[in-house]
Structure 1
């Protein structure tokens, strides 16, 4: 008597490759990436130098790199259902400190300056996190206050002075212009940080806890998660990446005044929100925030080429941010209804 071997039924689209393709097609980041490509194509059609000249291709990759770092740090904070308005001030403060270190400590190694900038940013971020986590004051209020405090310290320290390119070592300034295989070194640094941040959020328990806290802080407390520690960590990461951006700002532009980094906090929030990081917390990826940073600054470069005046340039960015928030709300309501329907079927 021969035994009958059951052959598993193959469900169309159930393979790993099919699931990966379906995930990529339906991902929020894919839509943002397509929008970025369309903007680049439109601007290049109007002026081929936008992409096909050496400076055009370099600027396309280089200009958003610093904002990418700040937006990635901002994403950590927003995912925990908070906000950080002080990042622009941290960028300005660390950028000026970078120049002062090279002036006041002649011969200081470049790596020491990088460590100092990241450390200062991390400390300023920790102050934000401690006030938010332990004082139980909304992050919007805390970081609005520290934004002015950090900027005030920067203005008082800088005065009427500024850092000039001639004050900085040649090898440090080279970081702002050097390329590897036609890719700017600053962009490579930003992408390495992006990959590390994405890996941490996806694969490490601490990274996944950021999402749990942002989705439902009360439930996270009941589950035993160290909510305050994670919130502080998110602000430290945001501050440290802003500090790194400040050091690279000095390398990129050479000239640093008290206005360095001004307004970057709104651009970072806009990049994260456009990239799918829900302002209500618990949703989004740093990949989306990175693409959002590229889209935001590419639009600023492309619209003048397309003959669109300054008012409409700002209006387009505003529409993108509002559209992203509305889309997040629509998706959240749809997901809520789907969960209710599944619960009813389960009964």
Structure 2
């Protein structure tokens, strides 16, 4: 029990519960099941993007282009739907995933084959993908009346009390959990970020693992592109602008180490929900958008400090234990 209480995920869950209780005292009905379901649905896309970001961060990399990938992919499938309304929805969804994965391939190849730092690569492709969305659309919007009803309503259909969008997020969470915990790729992901040198000696191709992480990240961003356009019934160049930072923030708050190799799917989901609760609650209780930004930034900084102190403490324990072993070995008689 004490071990469970010390876990980062348990602490974060308790904080979220306290926040919901506190906000419900200021806004009647905030903690009702229907409103909590709405908050989860509003956070579903962020959860998927944060899981995409987590996969890359675990390999000691970062993907700043996830939101730009979402914007380009969302624009592409929205224009396809508007131009060819008879295309089946499954074809459009698969197209979004494939386009997103191909954009991830570009990031992964530049990081793996050319050994360019991930932050430099994805900062560049962030701008490139946004520019591609502008070129593709000519700066025009694709509005709800140009899209087919099934394209827009598929994710809004309520099943067992939750919209399909929420169920998609739950399925993605389960898939990513299984991939990271029970597949060779998942184990390689943690090893490549936790100790790249040891991973190489263990026979793990660190570069290839990072490449696959970027491809998976791109595929999830591509799926999010369709989900975003269907959810908000509009596609334009600047959709999800700044969401790449929210995805990083959700990971950091959830305990994912920027240094790589440390973190859980549960932590990422809770970090996303933490941001979702804040963004839904602060406007309700009358907090200005500028104050919301300051609060969110403060939370991120505190999370980074907490992570750094935790990792430093672990480092001290390892060093202390190693020193104790060396002293004991010196004291043993020859």
Structure 2 length-normalised TM: 0.93
Counterpart of 2:191 in structure 1 is 212
Cα 1:311/1:161, change in 2 over 3 Å: closer
Counterpart of 2:232 in structure 1 is 253
**1:90 equivalenced with 2:69 (yes/no):** yes
Distance across 2 between alignment mates of 1:28 and 1:43: 22
Counterpart of 2:90 in structure 1 is 111
**Structure 2: runs of 5 or more not aligned:** 330-334
Counterpart of 2:310 in structure 1 is 331
1:273 to 242, 252, 257: 252
Preserved contact between residue 77 and residue 92 of structure 2 (Cα < 8 Å): yes
How many angstroms does 1:62 deviate by? 0.9
How many angstroms does 1:23 deviate by? 4.4
How many angstroms does 1:53 deviate by? 7.7
Moved more, 186-195 or 202-211: 202-211
Distance across 2 between alignment mates of 1:85 and 1:198: 22
Counterpart of 2:23 in structure 1 is 43
2:283 to 292, 304, 309: 304
Counterpart of 1:200 in structure 2 is 179
C-alpha root-mean-square deviation of aligned residues, in Å?
1.6
Preserved contact between residue 81 and residue 151 of structure 2 (Cα < 8 Å): no
Matches within 5 A, 1:10-159: 21-52=1-32, 54=34, 56-159=35-138
Moved more, 211-220 or 89-98: 211-220
Counterpart of 1:180 in structure 2 is 159
How many angstroms does 1:123 deviate by? 0.5
Distance across 2 between alignment mates of 1:144 and 1:90: 12
State the 4+ residue runs in structure 1 displaced beyond 4 angstroms: none
What count of residue pairs does the alignment treat as equivalent?
Answer: 326
Counterpart of 2:332 in structure 1 is none
Query: Between Structure 1 and Structure 2, whose CA radius of gyration is higher?
Result: 1
